[in-house]
Structure 1
């Protein structure tokens, strides 16, 4: 049994790593898509699996150092999600591309495309700036994106806006 349990540590660690990457990607955009539900169920299963492995190790006094790697991955993922690090990091890597595009939008509705690390489903000119729809169908039936408005707060009649950083706002449509 000792060998069988140890042989489960490596696949468990890879599964936790994959779930961590998918979770960090999911929370790197405003709003949560329906993938978040699947990830939540995955995390529940992983937590149960980890609990089983730890209880089994305690009963048999068969600790292995590798058992703490998935636990560290889980705790690290929770910490990064809690402080919104994925959203801020992805946005920071995309900000110059988004700003360049926002300054060059000429029509009310512009084509979709990749701007930095975000796929914008829709780019719209708004008074004083532009907005990018980056999350189209979420669990609260809203769409989310970023709005660039360096000279003024965007008009609340055009959607819901929450200040994000500098001239950037998180834009919500449909709530």
Structure 2
């Protein structure tokens, strides 16, 4: 089968696959980092290249089969991002480690250590649980993390919390 035969096809498909992987990694943490800007420019360059490749095909009856592979990668990535699958998958793979850590945490203990698939930064013991940052400064000038609060719902005067799942909340240092 000669699905991807030309070097240009292989290069473009590989570049699209890399963009997809980087995008899935970027959205697997709460909040978007500054890397998302570079990633957006990368996607823009890929879209422009795709347009040029399509323009070269104008007037021909068929597209080469390899042109559908990058299209499928883009559509698959868009679907996964839309349903928040990367964040939920990475969290699910890390949840037991994060929970063990949250149950045993003391203030600012274990800074910048890996817990599951997340690098945990600032850590704080709070009434009934713990909270810790997993992203540094993002595009909206905030840091995001998770809060583990199994016995109660955090009040509005305690900071900004969004329920994630079970006893877990996404926490940010500002509204």
> Please, what TM-score do these two structures have when normalized by structure 1?
0.91
Q: Please give the per-residue CA displacement for 1:59-90, whole angstroms capped at 9, x wherever unaligned.
A: 34452111110110011111111110000000
C-alpha displacement of 1:123? 1.8
Q: Please give the per-residue CA displacement for 1:18-63, whole angstroms capped at 9, x wherever unaligned.
A: 1111110000000000000111111111112112212322334452
Aligned position for 1:82: 82
Q: Is the 8 A contact 1:141 1:174 kept in 2?
A: no
Structure 1 runs not aligned, ≥5 long: 1-5
Q: Please give the per-residue CA displacement for 1:117-158, whole angstroms capped at 9, x wherever unaligned.
A: 000012211110111200111000001000000001124333
Name the SS of the counterpart of 1:161 in structure 2.
strand
Distance 1:115 1:155 in 2: 27
Distance 1:92 1:121 in 2: 19
Distance 1:59 1:37 in 2: 35
Distance 2:120 2:65 in 1: 43
Name the SS of the counterpart of 1:109 in structure 2.
coil
Structure 2 runs not aligned, ≥5 long: 1-5
Aligned position for 1:154: 154
Aligned position for 1:108: 107
**2:56 equivalent to 1:59:** no
Aligned position for 1:29: 29
Q: Is the 8 A contact 1:118 1:134 kept in 2?
A: yes
> Please, what TM-score do these two structures have when normalized by structure 2?
0.91
Distance 1:158 1:82 in 2: 30
RMSD: 1.6
Q: Which has the higher helix share?
A: 1
* More off after superposition, 108-117 vs 65-74: 108-117
**2:100 equivalent to 1:96:** no
Q: Which has the higher strand share?
A: 1
How many residues were matched structurally?
A: 170
Distance 2:157 2:141 in 1: 19
